[in-house]
Structure 1
Amino acid sequence: MFDKVINTLSQIGLIIGSVLLALMMLLTVADVFMRYVFSAPVSGSAEITQILLTLTVFAGFILVSRDGSHIVVSIFEPMISRLSPKLYGVIYAVSNTLGTAFLLWVLIVSAREAFDYEDVTEGLEIPFGWIISALVVFVAFSLVAGVRVFKKGLSGHGSAD
């Protein structure tokens, strides 16, 4: 049952991330076309692209958390994984879960403040609260999907040697 939930969340992240990436590419093509053919770029395209990129990265965070394939800094990793691969997996899973939970908490606080102060983007005046709320949903899904690492182990962490 839990695997079905994680698979559904992963599919949602994959679909949303793919759609957002396609929108970002279409917007960039339209902006370049409009700029060079009609000397009239799409208003706010840079701002929208930044928002779409942020949302795309956080949608992909769900898949990365599910697989335990985050980018790692290999300072202690070789030593710990050589001494005890199981200990390394536990340390990774616990630190990933705590880090994701902390990120979720920070984003929830930020979203609340953005709504309280009615913060908006500079150019198009898009409410930050809604943007950050989408990030909160993606990180919450990532936290749930990251639990899979405790059960199935890591993937995508081959030795860099």
Structure 2
Amino acid sequence: MFDKVVDFLSRIGLIVGSVFLALMMLITVVDVFMRYVFSAPISGSAEMTQILLTLTVFAGFILVSRDGSHVVVSIFEPVISRFSPNLYRLVYAVSNTVGTAFLLWVLIMAARDSYIYEDVTEGLEIPYFYIISALVLFVAVSLVAGIRVFTSGQMGHDSAD
């Protein structure tokens, strides 16, 4: 049952991330076209692209957490995984979960602060609270999806040997 929920949430993350990526590409293409053909670029297109890129990365974080395929620094990995593969998997899963939980806490505090101080983006004046709240949602789902690594192990990550 848990795996089905994680797969469903991951599929939503994939779809949402894909839509954000498509929007980002569309905005860029239209902006370049408008800039060079009509000398009238889209106002705020760079800001929209930055926001969409951030949302795309965090939507993809759900899939990365589900598979346990984060970028890792393999300094001690070969030694630990040869010495005790189970210890390595446990350290990986715990550090992934703790790191994601910390990121979630930081984003919740940032969302709270942006709500209290009514922070908005510079050009389009989009409230940061909405953007950061979306990131909080994505990281919360990533935390749930990352729990799968405890039961299923890592997917898509091989030892550096």
Asked if TM exceeds 0.5, the reply is yes
Q: How do residues 1-161 of structure 1 correspond to structure 2 at under 5 angstroms?
A: 1-161=1-161
Q: Distance in 2 between matches of 1:15 and 1:29?
A: 21
CA drift of 1:82 comes to: 1.4
Letter in structure 1 aligned against 2:57: V
Q: SS in structure 2 opposite 1:27?
A: helix
CA drift of 1:71 comes to: 0.2
2:77–2:159 CA contact under 8 A, matched in 1: no
Letter in structure 1 aligned against 2:59: A
Q: Distance in 1 between matches of 2:53 and 2:78?
A: 33
Q: Distance in 2 between matches of 1:156 and 1:76?
A: 19
Q: Distance in 1 between matches of 2:70 and 2:127?
A: 30
Question: Could you tell me the percent identity over the aligned residues?
Answer: 78
CA drift of 1:159 comes to: 2.9
Q: Distance in 2 between matches of 1:160 and 1:32?
A: 42
CA drift of 1:65 comes to: 0.2
Letter in structure 1 aligned against 2:90: V
Query: What TM-score do the two structures reach when normalised by structure 1?
Result: 0.98
Q: Distance in 2 between matches of 1:40 and 1:76?
A: 53
Q: Distance in 2 between matches of 1:3 and 1:154?
A: 14
Q: SS in structure 1 opposite 2:63?
A: helix
Cα distance per residue 1:72-130 (max 9 Å; x no partner): 01111111111111111100000000000000000000000000000000111010000
Number of aligned positions between the proteins:
161
Structure 1 runs of 4+ with >4 Å offset? none
Query: What TM-score do the two structures reach when normalised by structure 2?
Result: 0.98
Q: SS in structure 2 opposite 1:115?
A: helix
2:17–2:55 CA contact under 8 A, matched in 1: yes
2:101–2:143 CA contact under 8 A, matched in 1: yes
Q: Which runs of 5+ in 2 are unaligned?
A: none
Q: SS in structure 2 opposite 1:118?
A: coil
CA drift of 1:160 comes to: 3.1
